[in-house]
Amino acid sequence: MDASTLTSLVSELSALTATYVPSIGHDAPSQASKAALLNLTRKIQHSLMDPAMMVQAHSLQMAEMVSVRTLLDLKVFEKMPTDESQRITAKGLSEQSGVQQALLERLLRPLVASGFITQSADGSYGSTKFSQAYISFPGLFFTLMFDHFLQPMTDLPKYLAKHGTVEPTSFYVNPYSDYHNASDSELTTWEIMSKDPEKLKTFQIGLTTGDAMVPATGYYDFNQLALTEEELEKDPDRVSLVDIGGGVGNVVKRVLGEYKTLKPEHVVLEDLESIIEMAKKEETVPEGVRMLKHDFWTEQPVKGAKAYYFRRVFHDYSDELCVKLLKQVIPAMTGPDSRVLVADMLLPEIMTTKEAHTAALDIACMVMGGKERTEEDFRRLFQSVGLEVVAIHRAPGVAAGLVEGTLKS
């Protein structure tokens, strides 16, 4: 990089810093100015690095991730002082955690180097906002990403050498099943995962972070699905919204809470029998909503609804399996205004550092045979089954949206 380019970037950073206002929320719009600063500092950093420096950075990241995952298992962060001004010696931390001091010191070195924890001149260690946060939910999500995605991901070259250099599309044979030596078992990803109840629990809890990545409300007007008196006179049993694979009803609850014109008695929640029973037990579903036991790989039983809604479902599956999903719904779209709504991540056509997390999530989905998609990917997918995309509703501040499709006229 020449000096003039560096000066220009630093001037841009200075201008951004002068207008920076600390965010008070954790949603994407609130974090936008912080993200802009981070993206610019990363651009400056990368422009200064030579290839050898990048190798060193990647090596540190690998060591950091392994160390964090190991120390989470050993509950070491929980033994460190919560006050960042306080310190604990390696010997003291070893005594409290039961981990050999020599091993502990080696695992902590990469975390000091990366800034995840601190170390004083006397060799003692201190917590940071990162190490403290990882004791709770962020640590669960990190564990989910490490156990279920990173570990199988490291074997991706071996998987491709064995199965061919094409994207994994099977729910039975994929990097996840290969990593668990289960590609010949005819078990799905979820069935393999269910063999370890603790890891399955971590996966389910960790995935709740997806609510922020693909908001349930705020960018599609569900009120437009409300049935008019005239429509009800023609068909008193008609349904406004079918939430397919809707879990225990948290999304339905949020939608009905925000869009008051939509009536609970005109909404159907569908999922597998075990999930519906859980929903009834937890009583999360608003009164009036009909709960229906349904496997979405089979024909859709609710006919003529205004909308058939999939949220955070399609990214779990390949194009071929999503085609199968859509083909179960299309015969049920007998209403004059029936439509399919798919809420999911929307990858940018041209990747930037701003949407870097979406690239990581797409590789994570690939491990299990799924994929994140661009707008164009969704248009091709819908067109392949006789649907056309009539609108794409973008969620503000995040790389997500809702794809709306109808039968081709």
Tell me, yes or no, whether 258 and 225 share the same domain. yes
Both 147 and 249 in one domain: the answer is no
Phi-psi label, residue 279: left if phi above 0, alpha if psi -120 to 50, beta otherwise: alpha
Tell me how far apart the alpha carbons of residues 342 and 41 are, in angstroms, rounded to a whole number. Answer: 35
Same-domain status, 239 and 261? yes
Question: Which range among 135-139, 158-162, 356-360 has the greatest average pLDDT?
Answer: 158-162
Q: Are 267 and 243 in contact (CB under 8 A)?
A: yes
Q: Are residues 381 and 271 in the same domain?
A: yes
Last residue of a domain, one of 188, 210, 232: 210
The pLDDT score that the predictor gives to residue 244 is 98
Q: Of 37-51, 194-208, 324-338, where does the model show the most confidence?
A: 324-338
Which tokens in the block code for residue 219?
A: 């960018």
Are residues 262 and 218 located together in one domain of the fold? yes
pLDDT at 242: 98
Same domain for 374 and 228?
yes
- Residue 9 sits in the same domain as residue 66: yes
pLDDT for position 137: 85
Three-class DSSP category at 387: strand
pLDDT digits 0-9 by tens, 156-207: 999 999 999 999 999 899 999 999 999 999 998 888 988 887 777 777 666 6
Q: Which is the catalytic residue, given 46, 58, 315, 393?
A: 315
My answer on whether 96 and 150 are in the same domain is: no
Number of folded domains in the chain? 3
* Res. 36: pLDDT tops 90: no
HEC-encoded secondary structure of 368-382: CCCCCEEHHHHHHHH
Report the percent of the chain where pLDDT is more than 90. Answer: 72
Model's pTM, two decimal places?
0.84
pLDDT, position 223: 97
Report, as an integer, the average pLDDT of 208-230: 87
Q: Which two tokens stand for residue 25?
A: 């929320």
In the prediction, which pLDDT does 194 show? 82
Identify whether residues 128 and 20 lie together within a single domain: yes
CA pair distance 304, 306, nearest whole angstrom: 6
**Could you tell me the residue range of the domain that residue 166 belongs to?**
137-210
Lowest mean pLDDT among 15-24, 238-247, 329-338: 15-24
Judge whether 285 and 264 are in contact, CB under 8 Å: no
When computed from its CA atoms, the radius of gyration of the chain, rounded to whole angstroms, is 24
What is the domain-level CATH number for residue 361?
Answer: 3.40.50.150
Statement to judge: residues 271 and 219 lie in one domain: yes
C-alpha to C-alpha distance for 48 and 121, rounded to whole angstroms: 29
CATH number at residue 17: 1.10.10.10
194, 247: one domain:
no
| Per-residue model confidence as pLDDT tens digits over 57-68 | 999 999 999 999
315 is catalytic: yes
Provide the pLDDT for residue 208.
Answer: 63
Percent of the chain with pLDDT over 70: 96
Judgement on whether residues 305 and 339 belong to the same structural domain of the protein: yes
d(CA 315, CA 217): 19
